[in-house]
Amino acid sequence: MIHLWYNSDMYYRWILFRIRRLLMTGGGRTGSVTVFLMAALMASAFNPRTVFALQTHAAPEGLYVHQGAHLFLIFSLAAFLFSLRRSRLETEKAWRLLSWGAFLLILWNAWAFAGHIAETFLPESVFIVLPGRTVPALAMQSWLEAAYYVLQMDHLLCLPALVFFCAGLRKLHAVFQENGGTKRVRS
């Protein structure tokens, strides 16, 4: 019964209803968010399909667009950092946190960009599907496979970057609320 409910359109409507309800009631309450996340996690545990965290790009156009997006984000974040430094906003804590987040996202984008390049040089033969497994394994035959493996751990830069961004935005919001919405936000 749960299997049928999960695969039906009703499940997705329920998720959208919960999200809408949380947003309309000020979803910042920890209890509501926790209940929603636990319910979504329990419902997804009954999913019979296999889901992998893998995003492929059709060669070569998809990779070119994706790599171009990485470069665009690098240049945009560098411009953001430059304007922060030039305006001396970095002396305030909230903006300093946002600055660290932007710097780490620049590093993450460069790391991911290099990882995509390394992936293009890998032959198909290094990805081996072992008997009884559905996820391919990586056969380490040279330094290129090792570099690809290390470069796939880009989440080690992305997650702290997003934490810094979140902390900076929270601090800005708190300062804005303290000042009652005045134009000059000092943290």
pLDDT 10s digits, 42-100? 666 665 455 555 556 566 777 888 899 999 999 999 999 999 888 888 888 999 999 99
User: What pLDDT shows up at residue 108?
Assistant: 95
pLDDT greater than 80 at residue 9: no
> Is the pLDDT higher at 164 or at 90?
164
What's the pLDDT tens digit per position in 25-48? 554 555 566 667 666 766 666 654
What's the pLDDT tens digit per position in 131-148? 888 878 888 888 888 888
User: What pLDDT shows up at residue 88?
Assistant: 81
User: What pLDDT shows up at residue 7?
Assistant: 43
Distance, C-alpha 52 to centroid of its chain = 15
C-alpha atoms less than 13 angstroms from C-alpha of 138 in its C-beta half-sphere: 13
Q: Which of 159, 40, 64 is nearest to 113 (CA)?
A: 64
C-alpha atoms less than 13 angstroms from C-alpha of 187 in its C-beta half-sphere: 21
User: What pLDDT shows up at residue 11?
Assistant: 56
DSSP 176: H
pTM score over 0.85: no
pLDDT greater than 50 at residue 4: no
Q: Which residues pair with 138 in a beta bridge?
A: 127
